Amino acid sequence: DRQAELTKLARVLSAEPAALGFLEEASVASLREFRQLATHTLFDDGRETFRRLAKLSRLLPVPLLVRFTTSLVGPELAGRVASEMDPDRAARMSAELPLDFLGEVCLHLDPERSREVIRGIDSSRVRDVCLELLRRREYICMARFVDILERGVLAQMMAAIEDETELLKIGFFVEDKAQLDMLIGLLSDERLERLILAANQEGLWPEAIALMSHVREETRARLGNVTARQAATLLHGLVFAAHAARLWPELLNIVARMGPAEQLLVVQKLATQEFMGSPAFTAGFAALQARGAL
C-alpha cells in the first residue's frame, strides 16, 4: 500500500518516486490523504475556466470540435475540459479522436469528475484505449479505469490483456477493492496460475501479495489455494520476497484463508533445509508466535 501510494503521489506531483523517499515512514492513510488533497488542488485550479470552455464547446459540431482539439488544444487541456463536459458529447468525441491522442487525454482527466465521462464511452472503444494505455505502460491510469468500469466492460478489457504481468501491475494501483475483487473473479483458475507464475518470474511478489490482501476472503482463499499448488521453488520465492519486504502479516493472512489440504502442501514444500536454516524461517516463526498460532 505504501509503495503504491508513493508512486501515485509522485505522478500527481510530476516527480520521480525516488524523490519522495523522505515520506517512506509516513502512514499509508496520511499518504493517501495528502495525495487526494494535492489532486483536488491541482484540478480545482482553473476549474471555472474549464467549465466555460466545456460550455463553449457545445457551439461546435463534434467533427469540427475534434479537428480543433487535435490541431490547437492539445491533450492536456483537452483532458481538463473533457472532465467538465456532458458525458454523451464527450463519448461522441472519443469515438472520433485518434487513439494515441485519446490515450494521452486520459492521463489528464480529473479522477473525480471523469467517472461518468468514461462510463459513457462505448465498451469497445474503452478496450482500445486500455490497450493503448498498456502500450504506454500507464498502469496508474489503467487502475483508474478498473476503479469505475462496469463488469461487462471489465470483462472485455481482461480478455484483451494477454500478459498476466500487466494485470499484476494494474491491480497494484486499484483503489476500489470491490472492483479489484470483481476483476479477479473474471479470471479462470488457469489465468490465476499464470498470474502467480508471472509474479515469481518477474519479481512481482510484493504486488501479488498486495493484490491478495485487498480482496474478499473467498477470493483470497482461491488465490492462496492456487499458489499452494505450485512448485516448492515458487513458494520459497514467495516467502523470501515477503521476508525482504516485511510482509509477514499479509502473507500469513493469505495462508490462513487456504484450505486445510493446501496449508499442508505449503508446510510440506517449505520443510527443506534451505528454508528452515534461513532468516526468513526465523522471522516467519516469530510472526506465527505473534499471531498466537503457535
Q: pTM for the whole thing? A: 0.85
Length of the chain as a residue count: 294
Chain-wide mean pLDDT for the chain? Answer: 88
CA angle 247, 253, 255 (to 5 degrees): 100
Q: For residues 152-177, give the mean pLDDT.
A: 91
Choose among 55, 58, 61, 145: nearest CA to 103. Answer: 145
Give the cell for residue 25.
515512514
Assign 291 a pLDDT band (cuts: 50, 70, 90): low
List pLDDT tens digits, range 21-35. 888 888 889 999 999
- Distance (Å, rounded) from C-alpha 280 to C-alpha 34? 34
Residue 183 has pLDDT above 90, yes or no: yes
**HSE-up (13 A, CA, CB side) for residue 18:** 0
List pLDDT tens digits, range 269-284. 888 767 776 777 677 6
- The letter for the amino acid at 89 is R
Residue 24 and residue 93 in contact, taking contact as beta carbons nearer than 8 Å: no
Q: What is the DSSP string of 104-115?
A: HHHTTS-TTT-H
List pLDDT tens digits, range 240-251. 899 888 898 899
- Distance (Å, rounded) from C-alpha 204 to C-alpha 228? 17
- Distance (Å, rounded) from C-alpha 166 to C-alpha 146? 13
Assign 41 a pLDDT band (cuts: 50, 70, 90): confident
% of the chain at pLDDT higher than 70:
94
Residue 285 has pLDDT above 70, yes or no: no
Query: What are the sequence ranges of the domains in the chain?
Result: 188-294
What pLDDT was estimated at residue 102?
93
What pLDDT was estimated at residue 294?
44
Choose among 110, 102, 101: nearest CA to 83. Answer: 110
Range among 39-53, 80-94, 121-135, 221-235 rated most confident: 221-235
What pLDDT was estimated at residue 293?
54
Q: What is the DSSP string of 76-102?
A: HHHHHHHTTS-HHHHHHHHHHS-HHHH
